[in-house]
């Protein structure tokens, strides 16, 4: 029988609990009308999954398989599938959320918007299982240059980075100076890769010189250690003489990012914030107001943006960076090790299970 990887419930409060992983046998699902059966071959972790295990994420489900990002092969089509000729026996990527079609502002109905993997109301959806049934509209053909692990690495991070950089920053253009904070994480690396492919001058921050060195090898113009109090001063010295300012910041940390970058950003510059790993609040300064700086929140993206992102990856032959993989859903201890890497910020790229 197929397996599914979930979390096991135990008592505790958010932030003071760490739900153990639980592997169980489940029946092989059957696709209904307009649905596809996908045999999953790889699934990738996100910080979202770590927050779920710590009970720091809404609508946690102890029934839903974990992980929102998956690559698999369509092995069966239900009755009435109009795309079966295109999708049957083909490698596909799962869309990581439901309830947001195309509106560039946000989900058409926020009450219907939800990610998949480890959360309600989509208790059967998640990439940490051998088989999943999805609506035929909720997959994209995987670009042919990607391996299963690379394909699984793309959905959530690629979509989040695409929206934060291309849709929300307003500066995804050749020659613009873009700062990506916290390089090494999946979203930050995808933003770096997308920006480079668009011809932007990309700069990074990290707590590790090794990660900065790897980012510059990928094409970043430079990087600074955010643990140094004057990192913004050091970054200023790296900016080109002919354009000595940042056009936008792509940030997933929060904290003091407004204070540190206000002097670096141009008048009317953008801080596109897709996460706040340092805490649930940040300061907003009058100096940012006087420079007409905008802080824009960005969460995942629409179904249309997902398609656009995948097509861009295909066109530019971008390969997501993989930090480490483990083989097998049944290797629970090894999968726990991937979570440990993420918790300790050891990774440079994505952490992937080869199913």
pLDDT digits (tens, 9 = 90+) for 107-165: 999 999 999 999 999 999 999 999 999 999 999 999 999 999 999 999 999 999 999 99
Is the peptide bond preceding residue 316 cis, with omega within 30 degrees of 0?
A: no
What does the mean pLDDT of the chain come to? 96
pLDDT over 80 at 15, yes or no: no
pLDDT over 80 at 250, yes or no: yes
In the predicted model, what is the mean pLDDT of residues 286-313?
A: 97
Q: Looking at residue 200, what is its pLDDT?
A: 98
- Percent of the residues in the chain that have a pLDDT greater than 70, as a whole number: 99
Q: Looking at residue 110, what is its pLDDT?
A: 92
In the predicted model, what is the mean pLDDT of residues 182-207?
A: 97
CB atoms within 10 A of CB 125: 27
Q: Looking at residue 1, what is its pLDDT?
A: 85
pLDDT over 70 at 355, yes or no: yes
Q: CB–CB of 293/142 below 8 Å?
A: no
Q: CB–CB of 275/250 below 8 Å?
A: no
pLDDT over 90 at 14, yes or no: no
48-68 pLDDT tens trace: 999 999 999 999 999 999 999
pLDDT over 80 at 192, yes or no: yes
C-alpha to C-alpha distance for 117 and 290, rounded to whole angstroms: 42
Q: Looking at residue 343, what is its pLDDT?
A: 94
pTM listed for this prediction: 0.95
Residues 311, 66, 77, 313, Cα dihedral to 10° = 10
Confidence of residue 16 (pLDDT cuts 50, 70, 90): confident
pLDDT over 90 at 29, yes or no: yes
Confidence of residue 281 (pLDDT cuts 50, 70, 90): confident
Closest CA to 189 of 226, 168, 162: 162
């Amino acid at each position: 029988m197929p397996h599914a990887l979930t979390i096991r419930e135990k008592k505790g409060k958010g932030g003071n609990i760490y739900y153990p992983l639980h592997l169980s046998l489940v029946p092989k699902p059957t696709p209904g009308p307009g649905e596809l059966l996908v045999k999953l071959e790889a699934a990738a972790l996100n910080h979202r999954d770590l927050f779920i295990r710590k009970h720091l994420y809404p609508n946690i489900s102890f029934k839903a398989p974990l992980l929102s990002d998956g690559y698999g092969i369509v092995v069966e089509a239900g009755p009435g599938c109009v795309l079966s000729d295109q999708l049957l026996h083909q490698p596909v990527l799962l869309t990581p959320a439901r309830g947001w079609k195309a509106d560039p502002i946000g989900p058409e109905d926020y009450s219907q918007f939800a990610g998949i993997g480890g959360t309600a109301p989509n208790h059967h959806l998640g990439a940490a299982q051998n088989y999943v049934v999805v609506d035929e509209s909720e997959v994209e053909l995987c670009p042919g240059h990607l391996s299963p692990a690379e394909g699984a690495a793309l959905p959530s991070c690629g979509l989040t980075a695409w929206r934060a950089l291309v849709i929300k920053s307003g500066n995804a253009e050749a020659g613009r100076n873009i700062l990506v904070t916290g390089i090494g994480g999946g979203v930050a690396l995808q933003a770096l890769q997308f920006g480079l492919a668009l011809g932007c001058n990309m700069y990074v921050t990290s707590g590790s010189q090794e990660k900065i060195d790897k980012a510059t090898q990928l094409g970043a113009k430079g990087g600074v250690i955010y643990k140094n109090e004057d990192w913004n001063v050091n970054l200023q010295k790296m900016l080109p003489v002919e354009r000595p300012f940042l056009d936008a910041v792509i940030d997933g940390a929060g904290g003091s990012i407004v204070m540190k970058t206000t002097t670096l950003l141009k008048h009317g510059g953008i801080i596109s914030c897709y996460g706040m790993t340092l805490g649930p609040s940040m300061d907003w300064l009058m100096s940012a107001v006087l420079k007409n700086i905008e802080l824009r929140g960005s969460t995942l993206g629409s179904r249309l943006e997902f398609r656009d992102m995948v097509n861009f990856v295909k066109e530019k032959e971008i390969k997501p960076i993989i930090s480490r993989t483990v083989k097998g859903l049944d290797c629970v201890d090894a999968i726990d090790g991937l979570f440990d890497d993420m918790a300790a910020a050891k990774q440079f790229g994505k952490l992937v299970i080869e199913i």
